[in-house]
Homo-oligomer: A and B are copies of this chain.
Amino acid sequence: MNKPATIKDIAKQLNISISTVSRAMRNAPDVNADTKRAVMALSEELNYQPNKLALSLKQKQTHNIGVIVPNLDYVLSTMVKGIDEVALEAGYTVMVCQSNESFGREIVNTRRLLDSLVDGFIISVSSETKVFDHFKKIQEKNMPMVVFDRVTPFLQAPGVKIDNEDGGFQATEHLIEQGYKRIAILAGPKNLGISNQRLDGYLKALKKYKIKPDSDLIIYCDFNQDYAYVATKELLAMKKRPDAIFTISDRMAIGAMLAIKEKGLRMPQDIGLVGFNNEPVTSLVTPTISSVDQPAFELGKVAAKLFIEAMHHDEDMNHIEEVLKPKLIIRESSQRIAPKNGRTK
């Protein structure tokens, strides 16, 4: 009983044809109930597992979804969980690959999955990626492809994202309302859409309150804690230092916080701070950090639903872009005016 049993073995033992066994397996209508029972019984006994490979080869689909993400931090792994949830439900298996924010790695992963392993892709692009040929190759094979979280105008594909501009706006407006005057922003890499959109929200809020943006207060830096730490130190060393900082990720907020603490400044009194993502850590540090919450799990689910849809109907869905609303969670780091109706967490 070494080799796994095949449909052939069953046919031979039952003295019927493989076609009949195949039909019985799929519970086709035109097969006798007795035969069906016999096949079922034997396949149980032989511990028969249909060979997905052969099936996939035949019908040219694998029921696998390739998911490519830049990393598996809190937000993205939550999104992946959402994807997994509805994918499983719909009979799909997901293959997750991390690009580690590396362009090269992203290409390798794409190629690998493209080798007829998956039916399509759900992608969040790496921050390093500026050219999208490897993804366009997917579309040329007209496989369904959905982008999520980090969508980009350079990629014509159905996508789901959060309203980053609104998030940036909420954060900035909140800081303004709290009486902060010189509000800096730690934006991410310049070519990253989500970064620029959050920046746009920031600018929009400034405009609404007639505050002239100061380019010295707009810092582009890499998406991580250490860079944010350095950038914040520089900000705080300015003659006219900012009295509030909005960072477009919580990682960066943490970096900023460390720099602020090191400088001996108090939050929220001397300086206000708002992050983005609402990672658990924001409510654990002292002071707790205000942050823009995004519905990550939900976003993952929507991404997968879009994919399934694109899979089944093949109308052009490239224009579709679902947008989910983020929501600012106010905590200690930015609240220096007592709330009207105590929303603190």
The 0/1 profile, CB within 8 Å of B marked 1, for residues 79-99 of chain A is 011001000100001111110
**Pair A53/B56 contact, Cβ less than 8 Å:** yes
**Pair A114/B54 contact, Cβ less than 8 Å:** no
Given the complex, which residues of B lie within 8 Å of A54, measured CB to CB? Answer: 57
Residue A50 at the chain B interface, CB threshold 8 Å: yes
Q: Secondary structure of the A side of the interface? A: mixed
A residues 80-136 touching B (CB-CB < 8 Å): 80-81, 84, 88, 93-98, 100, 108, 112-117
Residue of B nearest to A108 (CB): B88
Residue A179 at the chain B interface, CB threshold 8 Å: no
Residue A286 at the chain B interface, CB threshold 8 Å: yes
Minimum CB–CB distance for A232 against chain B, Å: 15
Residue A152 at the chain B interface, CB threshold 8 Å: no
Residue A285 at the chain B interface, CB threshold 8 Å: yes
The 0/1 profile, CB within 8 Å of B marked 1, for residues 145-182 of chain A is 00000000000000000000000000000000000000
Q: A116-B52, A285-B286 are in contact. Are A93 and B95 (CB under 8 A)?
A: yes
The 0/1 profile, CB within 8 Å of B marked 1, for residues 23-62 of chain A is 0000000000000000000000000011111101100001
Measured between alpha carbons, how far is A284 from B286 in the docked complex, in Å? 8
Chain A interface size, under 10 / 10 to 19 / 20 to 34 / 35 or more: 35 or more
Measured between alpha carbons, how far is A26 from B113 in the docked complex, in Å? 20
Residue of B nearest to A284 (CB): B285
Residue A323 at the chain B interface, CB threshold 8 Å: no
**Pair B116/A49 contact, Cβ less than 8 Å:** yes
10 extra interface residue pairs, beta carbon distance < 8 Å, beyond A51-B116, A285-B286: A2-B142, A52-B115, A52-B117, A53-B57, A64-B117, A73-B77, A81-B100, A93-B97, A93-B117, A284-B284
Residue of B nearest to A72 (CB): B77
- Most-contacted residue by chain B among A49, A72, A112 (CB, 10 A): A72
Residue A16 at the chain B interface, CB threshold 8 Å: no
Residue of B nearest to A50 (CB): B115
**Pair B72/A80 contact, Cβ less than 8 Å:** yes
Measured between alpha carbons, how far is A324 from B93 in the docked complex, in Å? 33
